[in-house]
Amino acid sequence: MSSSGNGKSPTGGSLDLAALAIQAHGGTDRWNNVSHIEVSLNLTGSALEWKGYPGRLQPTCHINVRDTKVVFQGLGSGNQYDKWIFTPKRTWIERRDGTVLASRDNPYANFLDHTRTTPWDDLDLACFAGYALHNYLTFPFHLLEPGFEYREVDSHEENDETWRVLEVTFPDHHLAHSKIQLFYFDQDLMLRRVDYAPTAFKAPASHYCFDVKEISGLKIPTLRRVVSRIPNEPIVNGVHALRGRTKLVGPTVFLLDYIHVVVHDEDSETSVGVGI
C-alpha cells in the first residue's frame, strides 16, 4: 500500500520509512528554515563524453529549495560569469549584464527522443544538471510535497548490509530522472543508493551516495557515483525494471564530488567546506 506527500498513510508502514528518513537527514523543523543551498563541485564521468562535454566541469550552483530554480556559473566552456539558469518551464543562459544568449521553453521535453549517445547542447546540460541537483539537494524533504506517492518494498542485501527500500512515484509536475525510483537506506537511515532509468539516456542506472556530512544540521552525501545497472527482469511496457544487478566495473557514468556547501537560512547563514 502507498502513502503520499500529504502526510496521510492508511497503513503507517511506508510513511514510517519516509518520516524516519526525513528525521535522520535533519528533520522538518530544520528544513523549513532553509531558503537555498550553494554547492561548488567537480563533475566528471563517461556520460559527459557521450553528450559532448568531455573532461571535468567545475560549476558553482545556487539552488532555491522553495522554488524549482537553479543558477549555475562555470558549467560550460563559455564565460565563467555567464549564468545558466534552470526552471521547469524555461532554461536560459545569460551574460552578466542580463543579455540572454540562448533560451528554451519546456526544456525537459527535449529529452523525450534522446538516447544514451544523443549529443546535448548547452541548454540540455543546464536542464539535466538543474533538475538533478535540485532533486539531490532537496531529498528526502520533497517527499512532503503534494503529489508524491511512496511505499516500502522488500529490503535489499548489498555488501553484507540490509537496506530498507522506498519506492517513490513522482508527480507529473515534478521533473526527475524517471517517474518511479527506488531509494535505499542503511541501518542509520542514510541514503545509500537510488535506482532509476533517466529519460535523457533511456538506460537504467544505480546512483550511490558516500561521505555523508552534517552541514548546518542537514545530512548531505558529498560524493555521488552513478554506474550502469543490468535489469534482472524483462522490459514491461517499454520501461526497464527498476531492480537489477549493478555493474560496478567499467567507466563511471557520473561522479559528483562536492567541494564546498553553503546552507542559507531564512534568517542566517552557515558555511561549511567539504571534500577539500
CA neighbor of 65 nearest in space, from 91, 95, 111, 30: 30
Asked if pLDDT for residue 232 goes beyond 60, the answer is no
Asked if pLDDT for residue 274 goes beyond 60, the answer is no
pLDDT value of residue 234: 40
pLDDT value of residue 228: 84
| Homologous superfamily of domain range 3-273 | Lipoprotein localisation LolA/LolB/LppX (2.50.20.10)
Give 32's strand partners: none
Pick from 7-16, 164-173, 236-245 the range whose average pLDDT is largest: 164-173
Asked if pLDDT for residue 143 goes beyond 90, the answer is yes
188-205 pLDDT, tens digit each: 999 999 999 999 998 888
Give 236's strand partners: 239
4, three cell numbers: 503520499
Quote the pTM value. 0.88
Q: pLDDT band for 76, please (50, 70, 90 cuts).
A: confident
Cα separations in angstroms, 250 against 49, 106, 203, 246: 14, 34, 15, 11
- Going by their DSSP bridges, the two strands 218-231 and 205-215 should be labelled as antiparallel
Q: pLDDT band for 97, please (50, 70, 90 cuts).
A: very high
32-54 pLDDT, tens digit each: 999 999 999 999 999 999 999 99
| pLDDT, averaged across the chain | 87
21, three cell numbers: 528518513
pLDDT value of residue 78: 77
pLDDT value of residue 177: 97
Residue bearing the bigger pLDDT, 181 or 266: 181
| Domain spans of the chain, in order of start | 3-273
